[in-house]
Amino acid sequence: MRKRTELFLTFKDADGYWVGIADDPLVFMSNAGFLKEKNLNPPASWDDLLDPAYKDMIQMADARTSGTA
């Protein structure tokens, strides 16, 4: 493990009681070939996912039953 002084502030308690041990980022993944066939750009933001052009094309794992997509 890194030295506590090297950790980002968001990963440690200012009073030294705890440090974060995991980061779980959310990412967008897309099928470039499929989007090209549909003449669509890959979504790059949450707002992009609201575009009607992506209707019935978005999948998301059920967070209650899945730790990975």
Number of structural domains found in the chain? 1
In order along its 69 residues, the chain shows pLDDT tens digits of 557 666 676 777 888 787 777 777 778 889 999 999 999 999 999 999 999 999 999 888 777 776 655
CA atoms within 13 A on the CB side of 6: 3
| Among 11, 56, 52, 47, CA closest to 28 | 47
In a domain? residue 52: yes
Encode burial over 20-33: b for 16+ CB neighbours within 10 A, e otherwise. eeeeeeeeeeeeee
Structural domain containing residue 46 = 26-68
In a domain? residue 3: no
In a domain? residue 5: no
In a domain? residue 53: yes
Whole-model pTM over 0.75: no
Beta bridge partners of 12: 19
Task: Decide: helix, strand or coil at residue 44.
Answer: coil
